[in-house]
Amino acid sequence: MIRAFIFDLDGVITDTAEYHFRAWKRLAEDEDLIFTRQDNEALRGVSRRDSLLLLLKGNIYPEGQLQEMMERKNSYYLEFIQDINPNDILPGAIELLQELRSNGYQIALGSASKNARDVLQRLGIEEFFDQISDGYSVEYQKPAPDLFLHAASQLKLSPRVCVVVEDATSGIEAAVAGGFRTIGIGPLERVGIADFVLPDLSGVRLKDILSSL
Q: What is the C-alpha separation between 147 and 140, in angstroms, rounded?
A: 8
Task: Pick from 21, 48, 117, 167 the residue near Mg ion by CB under 5 A.
Answer: 167
Minimum CB separation of residue 76 from ligand BG6 in Å reads 10
Of 202, 183, 180, the C-alpha closest to 194 is: 183
Smallest gap from Cβ 52 to ligand BG6, in A, equals 9
Annotated active-site residue 30? The verdict is no
Find the shortest distance in angstroms from Cβ 46 to ligand BG6: 6
From the list ligand BG6, Mg ion, none, partner contacted by residue 173 (C-beta under 5 to 8 A by kind): none
Q: How far is the CB of 36 from ligand BG6 (least distance, A)?
A: 15
**What order of strands is seen across the sheet that includes strand 181-185?**
131-133, 106-110, 4-7, 162-166, 181-185, 196-198
In whole angstroms, the minimum distance from the beta carbon of 32 to Mg ion comes to 28
The residue (of 159 and 171) whose beta carbon lies closer to ligand BG6 is: 171
Q: Which is nearer to ligand BG6, 106 or 167 (CB)?
A: 167
Catalytic residue among 8, 50, 134, 167, which? Answer: 8
Q: Would you say 191 and 143 are in contact if contact means Cβ atoms under 8 Å apart?
A: no
- How far is the C-alpha of 151 from the C-alpha of 70, rounded, in Å? 26
Which candidate, 98, 120, 157, places its Cα nearest to that of 16?
120
The residue from 4, 5, 6, 11 that contacts Mg ion (CB under 5 A) is 11
Residue whose CB is less far from Mg ion, 45 or 178: 45
> Rounded to the nearest 10 degrees, what angle do helices 116-123 and 63-81 cross at?
0
CA 134 to chain centre: 9
Known catalytic residue at 167: no
Distance of alpha carbon 212 from alpha carbon 194, whole angstroms? 11
Which of ligand BG6, Mg ion, none binds 20 (CB below 5-8 Å, type-dependent)?
Answer: ligand BG6
Nearer to Mg ion, 38 or 102 (CB): 38
Residue ranges in contact with ligand BG6 by CB under 6 A: 9-10, 17, 20, 43-48, 51, 74, 111-115, 135, 168
Closest to 147 (Cα-Cα) out of 137, 156, 157: 137
Dist CA 73 CA 130 (whole Å): 30
Q: Which residue of the chain is nearest Mg ion when measured via CB?
A: 11
Active site residues: 8, 10
Residues in touch with Mg ion (CB under 5 A): 8, 10-11, 45, 167-168
